[in-house]
Structure 1
């Protein structure tokens, strides 16, 4: 049996790397990350707050911590330049 091909950095390997960085995060940050990871498109703070049932303040704090850990990326919303949209970093959206 040959060893698995790891030359391209599989999704599993990236997930394990993310697990290491997620380990030190708060439960609310882990919940926000999970919702973002399961979403097929970027989400606003309000959408995340609605889906997680966390307060907007807690959601913002979790997003800041996740961004500091390079687990989440932020971009300006194309619909409203005053808002940001978030998604998990370094993921393959073709799953």
Structure 2
């Protein structure tokens, strides 16, 4: 990833992901997705996603490391965190990640 690309979004580090695990599973923080939030998954990787919009019925997200792509994913709001893959989403609280 070039320096230019890194300036467009925060970088998820192993330490930040570890702190996010603690926030979710130890402190029991509850996440209500809002525009601008960052999240990852509980997989053993450092992939970072961002919520780009939320409306009455849907949550719209993008994969942050695919800078060239304009692909936006659309998820049913009431299932975003509760069904299927949704239970594996893990919020990165603002205080853990530095936004550019």
Structure number with greater Rg is 1
Same fold judged by TM-score > 0.5? no
As a proportion of its length, which structure holds more strand? 2
TM-score (normalised: structure 2): 0.24
TM-score by length of structure 1 reads 0.25
